[in-house]
Amino acid sequence: MANISSTFLGIKSPNPFWLASAPPTDKKYNVLRAFEAGWGGVVWKTLGSQVKNVSSRYSAVDYGGQRVMGLNNIELISDRPLDINLKEIRECVRLFPDRAMVVSLMADNDKQSWHELIKKVEDTGAHGFELNFGCPHGMTERGMGASVGQDPEIARMVVEWVMEAATLPVITKLTPNVHSVVPTGRAVVEAGTHALSLINTIQSITGVDLDTLVPNPYVDGKSVFGGYCGPAVKPIALKMLTTIAQDELTRKVPISGIGGVSTWKDAVEFMLLGASNVQVCTAAMKHGFRIVEDMIEGLTNWMDEKGYKTLDDFIGRSVNTITHWEDLDINYHHIAKINQDKCIHCGLCYIACEDTSHQSIRLDYGNPYNTYTIIEDECVGCNLCKLVCPVNDCITMEVHRKGEEYINWKEYQRRGLPLNDH
């Protein structure tokens, strides 16, 4: 059986599934329940100066009958007294010494405040820190959170402060509310951070209540931009993760992947694109802590099936498959094929192709049903028909090269080849 134990910056955990810094990691009661359910570690909800949270705090985007495809929140860092948090962290470490205990921090914007907070947390026996440079609401007005992560030089300065005092491993959490996470990632790596984590939440409005005309969540008729997370942000998280994993400097440190991890498959995708472990929040808030059981079982079965013995056998394996558009092979071509034995004659492929794509599907009217076939000379292999088809593997994409030679766009232009040869 595959060994899914994880070591991140020397911090050991029985599996790579950690709970992210969020409401599920706000107190001893939650964290102990999470450890009992099987989570490999937690990042304790961000500690810092005392704050006061508002009510209400969450809103969501539902789609296609699925609740909470995306979750929006306007909650700040922990509003519980610091001494209570520190006491409970110490107790959790004592009760579950084999689980990772990382504490998220967001001190006031001066060196002394960071040094004092670091010392207090180190005394709990925690295993590491995660610097919250990502919170996109509330704390930004105080010059914290995303306002630090959005400025590489400020982020560099704060990490330098932290590294002066910290004796535990330091992870810096990056904000996605930037054009690119790489500049800040480079700055904090140069400043000495031991690892990176990403992404934090994306600034958002999930929608407007059409009766009150106020976006949710609302506080006495007013709302603010919130932080968006959940399955909806996974594609953005994967892209930003990959840019960090490809960069010559930032790829030198381990990465903790965050952003829409809901299943073991999501976790594997994050690790294939460079993450050494993953952090989960929204899925646990929606389904409860026991989802980790499915994640552990699914990851183990997949690794056994593929022949991977440890996580290191596949971490980062997909990073080099992401290239530049101009380097793709123009002679590589797909043509769709419809399996008539599986087709349910709904016509969705035909409608999509006829109205919005390349008119590559022929409709033959019949009794009792219509039939649909691919016009191969017109098919550009765009995948749209396959994507809208409700039957798995009814439409497949077959390779039909236009030439045996590999040729990319730059070479295509250099040779003066015809631009429209379809």
Residues with catalytic function: 135
Burial class of 261 by CB neighbour count within 10 A (0 to 12, 13 to 18, 19+): buried
How does DSSP classify residue 322? -
Closest of 297, 324, 332, 309 to residue 406, by C-alpha: 332
For the beta carbon of residue 243, count every other beta carbon within 10 angstroms.
Answer: 18
> Which amino acid makes up residue 25?
T
Question: How many Cα atoms are found within 13 Å in the side-chain-facing hemisphere of 341?
Answer: 1
Q: Is the peptide bond before 368 cis (omega within 30 degrees of 0)?
A: yes
Q: What's the rounded Cα separation, in Å, for the pair 203 and 146?
A: 10
What is the CA 18 to chain-centroid distance, rounded?
13
Task: Report how far apart the first and last C-alpha atoms of the chain are (Å, whole number).
Answer: 50
Q: What is the Cα–Cα distance from 24 to 247, expressed in whole angstroms?
A: 32
Bond prior to 59 in cis (omega within 30° of 0): no
Number of Cβ within a 10 Å radius of residue 110: 11
HEC assignment per residue over 58-87 = EEEEEECCEEEEEEEECCCCCCCCHHHHHH
What is the Cα–Cα distance from 126 to 110, expressed in whole angstroms? 23
Distance between CA atoms of 60 and 69, rounded to whole angstroms? 7
Instruction: Name the 3-class secondary structure at 391.
Output: coil
Phi-psi region of 70 (alpha: psi -120 to 50; beta: other; left: phi over 0): beta
Residue bearing tokens 């570690």: 41
